[in-house]
Amino acid sequence: MKKLVVLYFMIAFVITGCAQTQVQTISVDDFEKQLLATKAEQLIDVRTPQEFAKYHIQSAQNIDLRSPNFKKEIEKLDKTKPVLVYCLSGVRSAAAARIIAAAGFKTVYNLDGGINAWSKARKPMVDDLSGVGEMSAKEYSDSVSSNGFVLVDFYAPWCVPCRKVLPIVENLKQNYSEKFKLVTVDFDKNRLLAKQQNIVAVPYLIIFKDGKKIWEKQGEATKEELMKILELE
């Protein structure tokens, strides 16, 4: 009987603790509303400092989830006020939200889809658009102005569809090396170029012929689809 009483109080404690903390994964629009309501006082970007430096949501603090000091830094925040967290796609921030909730914070909001979804919705961001270390607009123009066919693939290492498309275009290039030129562009490392080309989501494929754009597509493309346009059949 005594054991049952102890068990009851343990369960009640866990339930009460969970009830006190509200962890919500919310849409881009709802996240933006919470930012305005809280004046972004406790907006946390849990990506790496390198990712944060390249682009982030305005007013965000960078507390890297993978840092050994993550929990220590979180403890500096006000537990009575809402915490808004995001990462690249929502995976790391979901894990961070659970840690923050377990630390005793009352309300935690997680951005569904991360900054990828935020960017795709064309919400305001702080971008490093200096172009330092990037492919310049002139270099890009020179690359796609070649005679014959040029296939451009804007991709990102974190993008699942990109990881499906990239092997396809690389395999085509390997088998038809004299038929077309392949230009691959890392979206994250070329933010200025992507902005100049009005590309906000990846994969993004473009085909030029003799310097003229003849086809483009945001999203996945099949090998057969690309072969037909590149006249490789």
- Give the span between the Cα atoms of 192 and 57, in whole angstroms: 16
Catalytic residue among 83, 97, 159, 226: 159
Query: Confidence class of residue 5 from pLDDT cuts 50, 70 and 90?
Result: very low
Q: Going from the N-terminus, what domains does the chain have, and what CATH number goes with each?
A: 2-127 (3.40.250.10), 137-229 (3.40.30.10)
Per-residue pLDDT tens over the stretch 85-133: 999 989 999 999 999 999 999 999 999 999 989 988 989 999 888 888 8
Catalytic residue among 35, 57, 65, 162: 162
| CA 46 to chain CA mean position, Å | 12
Per-residue pLDDT tens over the stretch 26-62: 999 999 999 999 999 999 999 999 889 889 999 999 9
Beta strands 126-127 and 55-56, pairing class: antiparallel
- Give the span between the Cα atoms of 27 and 30, in whole angstroms: 5
Q: Is the pTM of this model over 0.75?
A: no
Predicted pLDDT of residue 13: 43
Q: Which amino acid is residue 184, in one-letter code?
A: T
Question: How big is the CA angle at 78 (ends 52 and 86), to the nearest 5 degrees?
Answer: 30
Q: Which residues pair with 185 in a beta bridge?
A: 154
- Name the residue among 170, 172, 204, 171 with its Cα closest to residue 190: 204
Does 159 participate in catalysis according to the annotation? yes
Does 18 participate in catalysis according to the annotation? no
Query: Confidence class of residue 176 from pLDDT cuts 50, 70 and 90?
Result: very high
